[in-house]
């Protein structure tokens, strides 16, 4: 405990989890007794913790005959008590039937009454009654051959029955012994040595909210080509109104990166990153208290010793998922080897974790960033202003000629709309100005009116200086020309302006 606090800090505390999942009992330094969480009502699971599926098939009707079409698999799937009962019953019925056939042959030939006659040759020697016929069948079927009871060549029907007995016995032995062998060699018991953590946890890993659980292998023999998959079982209703009671969704545990292929030598922590593609994108600590779901974990692999495929299953309900927890480390480095402490396999400790869902975190990040939201709104406003100008142009072309002349003079509002661009456009426009104006515009407190006045002044200064440099006579002529131009008709003034432009 002290080593854990030295490694992770005093903010972390180990949490002892019970196998029943009834609640958590935090323990920490200097903490008083805390109120124990009230256990939730146990609800029906789809898959038990030991991997058994709680599904029963009913109202099959005539479909039950399909089980007889695959009789061998049906017998293998039965429980052991039924397998043993069928095994004993089949052999007992077969032995009694064949013993009865030998007794009927002896009875029809009269061997039961003439067996002690010296010169009489019976079908089967030393068969006097049903028990002796039964013993003869057992000796023949088990190939014991004591030599006291044997078949003679004076009985062709006995020879035919003997051949039938040999064939039938071989079929029964192959069927029943093969069924028992497959039943015993099933790798279901291998799954008993594959461990899953009692709880799943949700915490931050590599800066992302992650769902995690732990798997382990108790045997030294490895699981070849071990692969893990996760399914989320959750009821939902489609937009069309259809209710799906057990909708299965896939949880990505590293399929795209190959992380689902396990080298299961030591306990591993399986991670599912909660992102926009995850079914838990909207899951938060508060909403998890009202959600109902079940996470089914399936671990598959090939048993190294037998070469048979093994599958282990477990599940986690919503009350078995701990928010803001992390698994206790179980691997330590010893002298020359790594040691796994399975006593801490199920233990977790609390870590700081935001109680919000990934969707809520992204929304808060979007609202708190000053560079993302204004850029989006400004682009929308620019697009709307351009559309508004295009609409004004379309409307103007549809007006009468007299109104078009009136609106043709009213370009001021449209110019104002184009000038009222965003701050980013103003910043780009400053790059086209001279360096002197850029320095002036960068000084805080300079408004656009001052900037325009200074620009006009700078543009007019060279003209005034050029007039001032002329002789007095030419200055008078320049002033007179300006006055004469002001007195010219509008048509001449337009011609002069077109010539210079």
Instruction: Give yes or no for a contact between 39 and 32, defined as CB atoms under 8 angstroms apart.
Output: no
| Predicted local distance difference test score (pLDDT) of residue 139 | 86
Mean pLDDT of the chain: 75
Whether CATH 1.10.287.70 fits 74-185: yes
| Predicted local distance difference test score (pLDDT) of residue 203 | 95
Q: HSE on the CB side for 30, CA within 13 Å? A: 3
Q: Is the pLDDT of residue 406 over 50?
A: no
| Predicted local distance difference test score (pLDDT) of residue 305 | 83
Percentage of the chain surpassing pLDDT 90?
A: 33
CA distance 233 to 248: 5
Domain ranges in the chain are 74-185, 187-363
CA distance 304 to 310: 10
H or E element in which residue 223 lies: strand 223-237
| pLDDT class of 498 with cuts at 50, 70, 90 | low
CA distance 142 to 212: 58
Q: Is the pLDDT of residue 409 over 80?
A: no
Which range is most confident: 108-117, 170-179, 435-444? 170-179
pTM: 0.59
List the one residue out of 153, 87, 102 whose CA is nearest residue 132. Answer: 102
| Predicted local distance difference test score (pLDDT) of residue 346 | 94
| Predicted local distance difference test score (pLDDT) of residue 272 | 95
Q: Do domains 74-185 and 187-363 have the same CATH topology?
A: no
Helix axes 448-468, 472-487, angle to 10 degrees: 120
Choice between 462 and 173, residue whose per-residue pLDDT is larger:
173
CB atoms within 10 A of CB 186: 14
CA distance 256 to 273: 12
CA distance 382 to 388: 10
Cβ contacts of 339 within 8 Å, gap of 6 or more: 331, 332, 333
| pLDDT class of 380 with cuts at 50, 70, 90 | very low
* DSSP assignment string, 306-367: T--EEEEEEEEEGGGEEETEEEPP-EEE-SSSEEE-GGGSS-EEE----SS-HHHHHHHHHH
| Predicted local distance difference test score (pLDDT) of residue 430 | 45
Instruction: Give yes or no for a contact between 353 and 204, defined as CB atoms under 8 angstroms apart.
Output: yes
For residue 85, CA distances in Å to 80, 90, 170, 181 come to 8, 8, 20, 16
426-454: average pLDDT = 46
| pLDDT class of 42 with cuts at 50, 70, 90 | low
| pLDDT class of 71 with cuts at 50, 70, 90 | confident
Choice between 174 and 424, residue whose per-residue pLDDT is larger:
174
The CATH topology of domain 187-363 is Immunoglobulin-like (2.60.40)
């Amino acid at each position: 405990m002290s080593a854990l606090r030295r490694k992770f800090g005093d903010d972390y505390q180990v949490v002892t989890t019970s196998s029943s999942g009834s609640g958590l009992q935090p323990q920490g330094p200097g903490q008083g007794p805390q109120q124990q969480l009230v256990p939730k009502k146990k609800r029906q699971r789809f898959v038990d913790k030991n991997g058994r599926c709680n599904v029963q098939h009913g109202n099959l009707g005539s479909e039950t005959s399909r089980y007889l079409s695959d009789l061998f698999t049906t017998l293998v799937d039965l429980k052991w008590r039924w397998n043993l009962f069928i095994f004993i019953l089949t052999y007992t019925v077969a032995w009694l039937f064949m013993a009865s056939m030998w007794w009927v042959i002896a009875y029809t030939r009269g061997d039961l009454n003439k067996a002690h006659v010296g010169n009489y040759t019976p079908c089967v020697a030393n068969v006097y009654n049903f028990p002796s016929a039964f013993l003869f069948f057992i000796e023949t079927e088990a190939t014991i051959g004591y030599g006291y009871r044997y078949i003679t060549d004076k009985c062709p029907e006995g020879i035919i029955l003997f051949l039938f007995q040999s064939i039938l016995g071989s079929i029964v032995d192959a069927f029943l012994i093969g069924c028992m062998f497959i039943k015993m060699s099933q790798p279901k018991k291998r799954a008993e040595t594959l461990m899953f953590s009692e709880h799943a946890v949700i915490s931050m890993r590599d800066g992302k909210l992650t769902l995690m659980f732990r798997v382990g292998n108790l045997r030294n023999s490895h699981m070849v080509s071990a692969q893990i998959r996760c399914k989320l079982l959750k009821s939902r209703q489609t937009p069309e109104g259809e209710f799906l009671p057990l909708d299965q969704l896939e949880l990505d545990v590293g399929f795209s990166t190959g992380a689902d292929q396990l080298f299961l030598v030591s306990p591993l922590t399986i991670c599912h990153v909660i992102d926009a593609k995850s079914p838990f994108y909207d899951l938060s600590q508060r909403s998890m208290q009202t959600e109902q779901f079940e996470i089914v974990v399936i671990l598959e692999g090939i048993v190294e010793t037998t070469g048979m495929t093994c599958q282990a299953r477990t599940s986690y309900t919503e009350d078995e998922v701990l928010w803001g927890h992390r698994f206790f480390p179980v691997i330590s480095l010893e002298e020359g080897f790594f040691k796994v402490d399975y006593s801490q396999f199920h233990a977790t400790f609390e870590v700081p974790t935001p109680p919000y869902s990934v969707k809520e975190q992204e929304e808060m990040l979007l609202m708190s960033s000053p560079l993302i939201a204004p850029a989006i709104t400004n682009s929308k406003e620019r697009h709307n202003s351009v559309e508004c100008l295009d609409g004004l142009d379309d409307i103007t072309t549809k007006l009468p000629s007299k109104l078009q002349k009136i609106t043709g003079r009213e370009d001021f509002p449209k110019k104002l709309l184009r000038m009222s661009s965003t701050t980013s456009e103003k910043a780009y426009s400053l790059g086209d100005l001279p360096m002197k104006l850029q320095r002036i515009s960068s000084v805080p407190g300079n408004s656009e009116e001052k900037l325009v006045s200074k620009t006009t002044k700078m543009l007019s200064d060279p003209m005034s200086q050029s007039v001032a440099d002329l002789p007095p006579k030419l200055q008078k002529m320049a002033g007179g020309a300006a006055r004469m131009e002001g007195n010219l008709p509008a048509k001449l003034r337009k011609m002069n302006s077109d010539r210079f432009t």
